[in-house]
Amino acid sequence: MFKLMTSTSMLTFLLSVGTTSAVAQELQPPVGDDNATRSNPPSAQRETLDEIVVTATRRAERLQNVPVAVTAVTPDTLDRTSVADVRGLTQIVPGFFGGRAAGVFLPVIRGVGSNSISVGDESNIATYVDGVYQGDPFSTWTDLVKVERIEVLRGPQGTIFGRNATGGLINVITPDPSFNLEGSLSGRVAMLDTGDGDYNFRGYLTGGLTDTIAADISGIYRKSDDFVDDLVRGGKAGGYRVIDVRSKLMFKPNDDAKIVLTGEIFDRRGSENVYQPYENNTSGRAFPGAILPTKPWQLSADLRPLLRIRRHNFALQTSFDFGGVSLETTGAYANNKTHQETDSDSSNILLATFVAPNIQSKIFSQEVRLLSSAPGPLQWIAGVYYFHLDGDAHFILNSRTDPSLPLTVRTFNPKLQTKSYAGFGEATYEVVPNLFVTAGIRYTHEKRQFDQVFNGVSLFPDTAKKSFDRVTYKGAARYNINNDANIYVSYSTGFKSGVFNMVGAAPVATDPEKIKALEGGVKADLTSFLRTNLALYHYKYSNLQVTARDPSGPGYILQNAATATIYGGELEVTLAPSRQFQVRGSVAYNHAEYDQFLQAQVFIPRPTGGNIVTQADASGKQLPRAPRWTFNIGPSYEVPLGSGTLNLNASLYHSSTVYFDFLNTAKQDDYNLINTEIGWTTADERLRFTIWTSNLTNAKVIQEIRPGALGSDLRYELPRRIGIGATFNF
């Protein structure tokens, strides 16, 4: 459709015109965060730049005052870029890649991320919903029902957040109930380029029950028809259906106390775990009767894929201000169940299947925090945290090397338990006017247990146990040049404890991951209509925990890579010459390579299909799912039309090559994604109608590649969608 500039010239272009980060409206802090920073207020000269308030430091502060690289995304930005879940943040947030594997969300920030799909092996990018840590990789699927904002923090958050925030974290913040009766209904219907339908319906209602009690309820029904042609059985596969209902009950007797009880039921089911051979590499092609896909979005498998994720969770949050000191607590319980069935060789020849009729986890966590709430040169926070996970599963792995041979059936019934305790503290002191120094520390103790039953026989005479202790810390300094600009520098560390392989037969845990990060940046509102945030970073990353396919069949192995060095930078800019016209965007450069990885498990294609599984030196190779260059740009223009306002929106996201294996042979080449929206809003803002597109050019973008002994397979992102939408606010 158009010819793309080179990465260097595009960076120069972005720097010169000032493209952007996500624009947020002024936001109210969530429960327990009523203590907005009072020092260094924003300039009264600001006219078109909206103020942004975030809770990246566990208290409400101006984004421009926080010495952390953080992007805040509002519901308007999500809607106008067609982002329906947290994976879609890839197109908005610099340095972020929303990866996945089968039914697991695997985010990557600045090249740091996990590719494990095992219960008890959480991602090293922490996901929070309303301050509650999502402690199971299957629980991080977060559909965006009613969101106040999403904050993505880049870099280790090893002190006040701590647990498995080695590379950063995602914090989804939903609104608390209102005492005013209000709500909204919205619907979006689209047609896929394959001729199938896509539907998204959401509703929200809130209001006061008494003078001190308010409640809300939100719900979503999201469905994508099957759109992948099934070449074996006929018809189609690949669709999914999501139902998510979430409710809050808030008791607020006065301005100094608040108690919020939250409950949620989530159900996702479908056949979206559809795979087809990457470059026709499957062992099945060597046998008579093999059917191979000839274009994207086709399925040839002996097993119809199935994926179902169900969960229910509860959380209780409290906040009490005692005058100068606030007490906050967050307690949560979650129960997650997953059922998954996948063809492991991605052919209609029955060679291997992976069936997991039950993967379950039960999680309890509790955090207690004390923090300063009065103005003054010293602001501090201290707390303790407890986390408990019980996980178990039933896996059935069927495999054979030739369809004339009987299947070898292996069953695994693992049980895992994780207990984690932590204490933390952080303080910021204004040493001299406009110079702020921050220091934080966290102590973590984790104990993991593992039992494995293989083909009905317990493999270990005694439960495998391993404990891990670690102190992580942070130091930062920020100098306010004036009310609209500051410069900061920080040094922080992160830690993820060792883990057991749930589909493994060894009672040995991996070594812990460790990261040391140096970061510096400038945050400045250069004029009343131009905001620029620049961050530069350098990481030393050791004992990376990596997952690869089992050479003997459809399972997985877990190992430690050696070390990696990561460095780069991100520029976020908002250009808003008027309230009617804004341009938002960002550009990111990330140099993420293994320093030393001498025994990487690698897969070399066989001429007849399948891969030779061996070990090789991957030192100097680029980390998987860590593109070198990415950028996005999103203009928005409003013009009066009739009795309302016409809004024109567009977004362009570009990524350089993404690799999915250690040797950098399985890859998605450079690609672009374009989304558009035309909307009309009535003068009272109660009604809004839209016509929208996503993936306008129908780009064939690989979402995931899985190299294995029986071949390498892939899954594509959704094809082009063209749709209409309507929102009614009351």
**DSSP category for residue 382:** E
pLDDT at position 4, please?
36
* CA atoms of 93 and 154, how far apart (whole Å): 10
Number of residues that this document lists for the chain? 730
Q: What is the 3-state secondary structure (H, E, C) of 280-295?
A: EEEHHHHCCCCCCCCC
Q: What is the pTM of this model?
A: 0.89
pLDDT at position 364, please?
96
Q: Is residue 2 part of a domain?
A: no
Give the CATH number, domain containing residue 649: 2.40.170.20
Query: Does residue 661 surpass a pLDDT of 50?
Result: yes
pLDDT band at 5; cut points 50, 70, 90: very low
pLDDT at position 420, please?
95
Q: Going by DSSP bridges, is the β-strand pair 125-129/168-173 parallel, antiparallel, or unpaired?
A: parallel
8 Å CB contact between 70 and 56: yes
Instruction: Tell me the backbone φ, ψ of residue 264, rounded to 5 degrees.
Output: -150, 140
Return the residue matching tokens 């994604």: 673
pLDDT at position 105, please?
84
Mean pLDDT of 435-447: 96
**Per-residue pLDDT tens digits for 668-711:** 999 999 999 999 999 999 999 999 999 999 999 999 999 988 99
- Parent domain of 164: 7-729
Q: Is residue 608 part of a domain?
A: yes
Query: Does residue 13 surpass a pLDDT of 60?
Result: no
* CA atoms of 9 and 364, how far apart (whole Å): 50
pLDDT band at 552; cut points 50, 70, 90: low
Instruction: Tell me the backbone φ, ψ of residue 141, rounded to 5 degrees.
Output: -65, 110
Query: Does residue 609 surpass a pLDDT of 60?
Result: yes
Query: Does residue 6 surpass a pLDDT of 70?
Result: no
pLDDT at position 135, please?
84
Helix (H) or strand (E) holding 357: strand 352-372
**Per-residue pLDDT tens digits for 341-369:** 999 999 999 999 999 999 999 999 999 99
Q: Is residue 257 part of a domain?
A: yes
The structure tokens listed for 375 are 């103005």
Helix (H) or strand (E) holding 523: strand 513-527
* CA atoms of 239 and 218, how far apart (whole Å): 23
Q: Is residue 1 part of a domain?
A: no
Query: Does residue 568 surpass a pLDDT of 60?
Result: yes
Query: Does residue 547 surpass a pLDDT of 90?
Result: no
Q: What is the DSSP string of 583-636?
A: EEEEEEEEEEEEEE-TTEEEEEE-TTSSEEEEEE--TTPBPTT--SEEEEEEEE
Edge to edge, the sheet with strand 69-73 lists 69-73, 149-154, 168-173, 125-129, 132-133
Torsional sign, CA 681, 682, 687, 690: negative
In DSSP terms, which residues pair with 393 in a beta bridge? 359
Q: Is residue 538 part of a domain?
A: yes
Mean pLDDT of 416-438: 96
**Per-residue pLDDT tens digits for 277-329:** 999 999 999 999 999 999 999 999 999 999 999 999 999 999 999 999 999 99
pLDDT at position 44, please?
44
Q: Is residue 353 part of a domain?
A: yes
* CA atoms of 412 and 501, how far apart (whole Å): 11
How many structural domains does the chain have?
1
Return the residue matching tokens 């934080």: 440
Helix (H) or strand (E) holding 17: helix 7-17
pLDDT at position 574, please?
93
pLDDT at position 143, please?
76
**Per-residue pLDDT tens digits for 171-220:** 999 999 999 999 999 999 999 999 999 999 999 999 999 999 999 999 99
* CA atoms of 215 and 674, how far apart (whole Å): 38
Measured at the CA of 218, the angle between CA 162 and CA 242, to 5 degrees, comes to 80
**Per-residue pLDDT tens digits for 103-140:** 778 899 999 988 777 777 888 899 999 999 988 877 77
Q: Is residue 384 part of a domain?
A: yes
For residue 548, give every residue at least 6 positions away whose Cβ sits within 8 Å of its Cβ, in sequence order, or none.
556, 557, 559, 601, 662, 707
Query: Does residue 224 surpass a pLDDT of 60?
Result: yes
Average pLDDT, the chain: 89
8 Å CB contact between 142 and 244: no
Query: Does residue 39 surpass a pLDDT of 50?
Result: no
Q: Is residue 103 part of a domain?
A: yes
